[in-house]
A and B are shown apart, each in its own frame.
Chain A
């Protein structure tokens, strides 16, 4: 009996094992091989040719079998560009709105793409010709579902495209949506964050190497940055360098979007840091405005965001002071003061209506004339010129303590010909902090 049991047991166990091991469940998966995409058709239209199809219309559907080819120049990796992709060929750049996030995971910078444009739309959005799809009657983003069958990758991403050097004196319209490099520029707001906290986008001026804000057709060229950019809270670099980014325009105002912080990495920092800066974007509450005589204190001009002094129609010949808050130069080597002045109208009775002073013993409020002031030598706007004039680098090197800087305006009278108008802007003290 025992023998039979064991035999049965053996058979059953063998059968069981066979069944069990024939039923293996697979859950270790092969890693799929890397896919090197290949496109076996050719483009039949250049980017410039495609953009020209729009003509003067606001929006047009592409009904022909138009195929373009380009290299990705910018994507949404840093978050500064959102739901947009930029490509270019040797005829120009193209902006495409695509209703999908994280485009960069597929469309790397340097990736060659072919686009079958049939069924997509061209439209003009605030002066930018873009490839998209209608949304509420005007050009919008291409729905993600339309990418398949239209957007084709060709080979793995190639080297990053080299930006075109932008010559601001040349024709700019053809450069829009392309990757450009602006050489020898600086940021007047260097040291501030790219995005002002609380704002969703911030526009920052771009200046030439001398600090002159670049303006095209009467509108400042701006660096526009989104608060979603991962560098939004980074400080804009000091010094002079080459700005790389996508060149764009919004209703006639040219602007640049950088792709990530590396697009401003080649700025040569002089080592100088901003110790104090006042751009008079708002009426500075911590500046003392003291009218010693004539009843005409310095005022803030909301239209131009500057400080203004004018003795015209005062109660008496003017003496009126504008004094900075204390600026601590302790431990700063080679501190430099820069600002700009502007003047119009003549004061026949005074050769130098505006004086610039520095004091170490002003109390910080009240009548400045009770303190000791030393004149600072600096370049001022020529009389009655109406030209914004940089002060040049005014050295404050002899001061190694908290200081006050003051503008003293005077007029010899209160009528035309005896009172000039002066404006001050872009007040800045820089220096190198000693370790």
Chain B
């Protein structure tokens, strides 16, 4: 693992002129078990009494040290004291990392403590500046992740399938759409904290990742420091309370180590009304070392979560209710707030790892993972009854033409909770009346369920061929099956439901075949827990091989990597749908794709402080299952001309790193070609899924990233971050609209999207701030600005049909087709923290942060045009867009005790 050590080791280079008889000493202090940098440790050179505090990244540097032999000591309140003999005999002396050990009650003999060896062997090595970035130390990356994240900021505008997360080699992405489901380990912040972030196109050595980079989370039990940590957080964001307990044994006798963690997050209501939160999480990792070269690790984790959802709505409703955080999803039932849209999931992961040091230079890691579980989200459904949603467009004042009635509705909206929220009691009463007639429920709550079953295998090897060359490679495969169906959750006081499609019934009266959701079980009576509506399985199998070579020399590094992936998927219908009797039941054909990718990069090191770096990537990617079937819920038909997408792109960066200055500027350019996008969403008005298929989509993402951090004084640093992007569609894709219930026929046409902006993420995001750090007090204040975010659009409005009949000069054309910009804005955030030492081994950490201090409630963090367009009146205000707003002022208080 020499290479790996090099990777986390920041070697600093000579600067220009050496002063005679004086040398410069540079090094880094890291924690022994985790290699995490140790900030704020005091480093002293005796007997000169030179003293310095390590930076946030654990670095230290002494200038102008007279040649001679000294004792270097490292001291810190929470670490064992440490010292070593050093010699300054050259103008520039660079040390291997200083590994120090955390103070614990169980500290054993000091023989475990690493010794520092002066790096005197090979002077040239001083210039080996590998491991350019620990990405999380990059001010740009950390700001993009933490500060911009709350604004739905997507780095470089990429969708989340373009980056990956590996947990001990287990790919945490969803096989159907490639997206990483972070919530599957929500609340396990402590357990998942050992991670390496590889941003953009920088090389990593555990997989072949796509254009957005990757994160490797390490859950080996032996890699946690020995501790018991309990923390409680109070906040008014998505939950109110969080209690988290983590225990790590450290290395136990006989090669054992264990870490367990659990948490609960809960809220009756979060920042948004009606959104309760009830989440548990658990984590256990057990490791056993066998001899010097083998280790087995078992990890189990999961986060059973239930939470009430928020839905976007139209500005009229926000204005009516006087808040941009109105939520239409809830209403009072017996005086209590009940949310109709509840997300409920639990997908535990079982992961067995084998780590084998075949030799000093060759390491093999193997992971076998299994996951299963259900992800459900609920929704109201109704049969021949009035729309129960308060913000249905016909219930709004704007639908009325008579000013008296408009005024009356406005008053009711402002005063009556049975008007401005869901009136649950009324829904029950209607069902009760239906019971009296022996008829079915008129209103129900249904769950849309995904039931996953996945086996995953990954093995990869890293080998240091020599001081300059490291090769790595691996193989992984995944067997995935997921059932998708609707499940009756609550009949809301009624007695039963019938499994037919009411829209088909309306459109084809008297046709008792077409209305059936399952012709094999016509007119089935549905009770709570029964499956109905749709029921199909997604099968996806992938096999991936990859290899990479990394080459490190004095003045330059480069790497090259390649990947080969085979993908096979098919659909199995478990219902014979009345609208598609011959293409819905049983297995679809199997669709196979063979894809490859190559990537590479080159870094030129002007000096240890200045680097230029260029990377490039080209890959083809099989279409995701989600984007392959026109309407997977009801039929086997695939998108016409289904084929792989192509991605190519690159970035070029210049990085400066001094102890007092970090700066990086990057330009990136990426093309996505031949993408298929299916926007498959639940259409509340048609109460069915509607599939908007765009195929042959080409996009271009380019932009500049800038991050600068200046340590102005010992206690204060200033930083600034800018992400200025330009993400656009570059062609006119073909659009198809398909309704699951057949209430409207499929339509296909050209969608005029050229030069449209890729929606939702702010394409401009800026941040600047100050950090103070004094005697274990931490203070951070930053201002952020978001702009150039765009509304997600309705493709139907960008077709010939939408503007049919309008003259070429008609201003309505612009109104219909133009894309709308979201409102950006400025936010001010601050946080204050302090670490107290209560007694020798007990520490108390308190952190309090406030986000959006100025309470700017007019920033639109996202939004979409309703996928409805009135082709007759061509009035876009009939179905206006729906928006999400960035939260106003929120706080977060965290108190932790560590023993």
Using a CB–CB cutoff of 8 Å, the interface residues on chain A facing chain B are 1, 5, 8-9, 12-13, 16, 19-20, 23-27, 29-32, 34-35, 77, 79, 100-102, 105-106, 108, 133-135, 143-146, 148, 156-157, 227-234
Cα-based distance from A108 to B439 in the complex (angstroms)? 12
For the complex of A and B, 9 pairs with smallest distance between CB atoms: A233-B510, A25-B278, A105-B430, A102-B386, A34-B432, A143-B405, A102-B385, A145-B409, A1-B105
Q: Write the chain A residue with the least CB distance to B229.
A: A12
Number of A-B contacts defined by CB within 8 Å: 120
B676 within 8 A of partner (CB) = no
Measured in the bound complex, the distance between the Cα atoms of B512 and A408 in whole Å is 46
CA A8 – CA B898 in complex, angstroms? Answer: 11
Among A29, A30, A77, A230, chain B packs the most CB atoms within 10 A around the CB of: A29
Contact status A32-B428, CB under 8 Å = yes
Binary A-proximity of B503-526 (CB < 8 A = 1, otherwise 0):
001100111000000000000000
Task: Provide the B90-113 mask, 1 if CB < 8 A to any CB of A, else 0.
Answer: 000000000000000110000000
A157 to B430 Cα, complex, angstroms: 12
Given contacts A12-B228, A13-B245, contact A102 B384 (CB under 8 A): yes
| A212: min CB distance to chain B, Å | 30
In the assembly, what is the distance between CA of A273 and CA of B438, in Å?
34
With a cutoff of 8 Å between Cβ atoms, the chain A residues found around residue B899 in the complex are 5, 8
A31 touches B266 (CB 8 A): no
* Contact status A9-B228, CB under 8 Å: yes
Q: Which residue of A lies closest to B262 (CB)?
A: A16
* A-chain residues with CB within 8 Å of residue B622 when the two chains form the complex: none
B333 CB within 8 Å of chain A: yes
In this assembly, does B408 line the interface, its C-beta being within 8 Å of a C-beta of chain A? Answer: yes
Q: With both chains docked as a complex, state the minimum distance between the C-beta of B480 and any C-beta of chain A, in angstroms.
A: 30
The reply to whether A27 and B306 contact each other, CB–CB distance below 8 Å, is: yes
Chain A residues whose CB sits within 8 angstroms of the CB of B416 once the complex forms: 148
Q: Which residues of chain B (381-403) have a CB below 8 Å from chain A?
A: 384-386, 395, 400, 402
Instruction: Name the one of B245, B306, B429 contacting A16, with C-beta atoms under 8 angstroms.
Output: B245
- Interface contact A12-B245, CB-CB below 8 Å: yes
| Per-residue interface assignment for chain B, residues 229 to 271, with 1 indicating a CB less than 8 Å from any chain A CB and 0 otherwise | 0101000000001010101000000000000000010111000
**B360, CB-defined interface residue at 8 Å:** no
Q: From the candidates B264, B342, B505, name the one contacting A20 in the complex (CB within 8 A).
A: B264
Given the known inter-chain contacts A143-B405, A233-B510, A234-B510, please indicate yes or no for A23 contacting B433, CB distance below 8 A. no
* Chain B residue nearest in CB terms to A2: B105
Q: Which of A35, A134, A227, A230 contacts B425 (CB 8 A)?
A: A35
Report how far A48 CA is from B268 CA in the complex, Å: 54
When chains A and B are docked, how far (Å) is the Cα of A29 from the Cα of B338?
A: 8
Answer yes or no: B897 CB below 8 A from chain A CBs.
yes
Q: Is the CB of B509 within 8 A of A230?
A: yes
A27 B276 Cβ-Cβ under 8 A: yes
How near does chain A come to B685, taking the closest CB pair, in angstroms? 13
Docked-complex contact A20 and B276, CB < 8 angstroms: no
Name the residue of chain A whose CB is nearest to the CB of B306.
Answer: A27
B436 at the A/B interface (Cβ < 8 Å)? yes
- CB-based contact B243/A19 at 8 Å: yes
- A146 / chain B contacts, CB cutoff of 8 Å: 405, 408
Q: Which of A12, A19, A101, A134 has a CB less than 8 Å from the CB of B241?
A: A19
Question: Which residue of A has the minimal Cβ distance to B230?
Answer: A12
B429 to chain A, nearest CB (A): 5
A-B contact sample (10 more), CB < 8 A, given A32-B334, A157-B436, A229-B509: A16-B243, A24-B266, A25-B277, A34-B432, A35-B425, A100-B386, A101-B386, A133-B405, A146-B405, A156-B436
Knowing A16-B245, A143-B408 touch, does A30 contact B386 (C-beta < 8 A)? Answer: no
Q: Which B residues touch A133, using CB under 8 A? A: 405
Task: Check A31 against B243 for contact (C-beta < 8 Å).
Answer: no
Task: Compute how far the CA of A135 lies from the CA of B405 in the bound complex, rounded to whole angstroms.
Answer: 11
- Report yes or no: A34 in contact with B241, Cβ–Cβ below 8 A: no
> Considering only CB atoms, which chain A residue lies closest to B277 in the complex?
A25
Q: What's the Cα separation between A113 and B436 when bound, in Å? A: 18
Q: Assess whether B644 is interfacial by the CB under 8 Å rule.
A: no
Contacts of B276 in A (CB 8 A): 25-27
CA distance A102 to B408 in the complex (A): 22
- Interface 0/1 of B425-459, CB less than 8 Å to A: 10011101110110000100000000000000000
Given contacts A25-B266, A232-B509, contact A106 B430 (CB under 8 A): yes
How distant is the Cα of A219 from the Cα of B408 in the complex, in angstroms?
Answer: 43
Q: Is A32 a contact of B241 with CB atoms below 8 Å?
A: no
Q: Whole-angstrom distance between the alpha carbons of A31 and B495 in the complex? A: 13
Could you jot down 27 A-B contacts, CB within 8 Å?
A: A9-B247, A12-B230, A16-B230, A19-B232, A23-B264, A25-B306, A29-B334, A29-B336, A32-B424, A32-B425, A32-B428, A34-B428, A102-B386, A105-B384, A105-B385, A134-B402, A143-B400, A143-B402, A143-B405, A143-B409, A145-B408, A145-B409, A146-B408, A148-B412, A232-B510, A233-B510, A234-B510
Which residues of the partner chain A approach B267 to less than 8 Å between Cβ atoms?
A: 25
A25-B268 contact in complex given A19-B241, A234-B510, C-beta closer than 8 Å:
yes
A138 to B293, CA, bound (A): 91
Would you call B178 an interface residue if the criterion is a C-beta within 8 Å of the partner chain's C-beta atoms? no
Indicate if B493 sits at the interface (CB-CB under 8 A): yes
- Cβ of B435 to closest chain A Cβ, rounded Å: 9
Minimum distance in angstroms from B833 CB to a CB of chain A: 21
In whole Å, how far is B784's beta carbon from the nearest beta carbon of chain A? 32
Q: Say how far A140's CB is from chain B's closest CB, in angstroms.
A: 9
Complex Cα spacing A23 to B279, Å: 11
Given A16-B230, A23-B266, A29-B336: A105 touches B436 (CB 8 Å cut-off): no
Q: A12-B245, A23-B241, A27-B306 are in contact. Are A105 and B442 (CB under 8 A)?
A: yes
Q: Inside 8 A of A29's CB, which chain B residues have their CB?
A: 333-334, 336, 338, 424
Contact across chains for B433 and A108 when beta carbons are under 8 A apart: yes
| Residue of A26, A105, A148, A232 touching B386 (CB-CB under 8 A) | A105
Identity of the chain A residue whose Cβ is nearest the Cβ of B437 in the assembled complex: A108
- The docked-state distance in angstroms from the alpha carbon of A16 to that of B896 is 12
Complex: A393 Cα to B114 Cα, angstroms? 115
Task: Please state if A12 and B336 are interface contacts (CB–CB under 8 Å).
Answer: no
- Scoring B342, B386, B425 by chain A CB atoms within 10 A of each residue's CB, the highest score goes to B386
- Chain B residues, CB < 8 A from A12: 228, 230, 245, 897
- Which residues of the other chain, A, contact B268 by a CB distance below 8 angstroms? 25-26
Chain A residues with CB below 8 A from B430, complex form: 105-106
Q: What is the bound-complex CA distance between A228 and B507, given in angstroms?
A: 9
A228 to B510, CA, bound (A): 11
CB under 8 Å from chain A, chain B span 461-520: 492-493, 505-506, 509-511
Interchain nearest-CB distance for A217 vs B (Å) = 33
A32 to B333 alpha-carbon distance, docked (Å) = 7
Residue of A nearest to B442 (CB): A105
Cα separation A5 to B841 with both chains bound (whole Å):
10
List residues of chain B with CB within 8 A of the CB of A234.
Answer: 510
| Residue from the set A1, A25, A157, A231 with the largest chain B CB neighbour count within 10 Å | A25
Chain B residues contacting A5 (CB-CB under 8 Å) are 105, 228, 899
CA distance A233 to B241 in the complex (A): 59
**A94–chain B nearest beta-carbon distance, Å:** 22
Q: Which residue in B334, B412, B437 is a CB contact (below 8 Å) of A30?
A: B334
Tell me the smallest distance from the CB of A139 to a CB of chain B, in Å: 13
- Residues from chain A with a CB closer than 8 A to the CB of B342 are 27
Query: Which residues of the partner chain B approach A145 to less than 8 Å between Cβ atoms?
Result: 405, 408-409, 412
Mark contacts of B326-365 with chain A using CB atoms, 8 A cut-off: 1 yes-contact digit, 0 otherwise. 0000000110101000100000000000000000000000
**Distance in angstroms between the alpha carbons of A229 and B385 in the assembled complex:** 15
The distance in angstroms between the C-alpha atoms of A227 and B506, with both chains bound, is: 10
A108, B438: Cα distance in complex, Å: 13
Tell me which residues across on chain A come within 8 A of B395, comparing CB atoms. 144
- Residues of A contacting B493 with CB < 8 Å? 31-32, 34
For B397, the closest partner residue in chain A by CB is A145
> Complex formed: what's the CA distance from A157 to B306 in Å?
39
Give chain B nearest CB distance to A115 CB in angstroms. Answer: 17
Tell which of B106, B268, B412, B432 has the most Cβ of chain A within 10 Å.
Answer: B432
B429 near A35 with CB under 8 A, answer yes
Interface-centre pick from B429, B434, B442 (highest chain A CB count, 10 A): B429
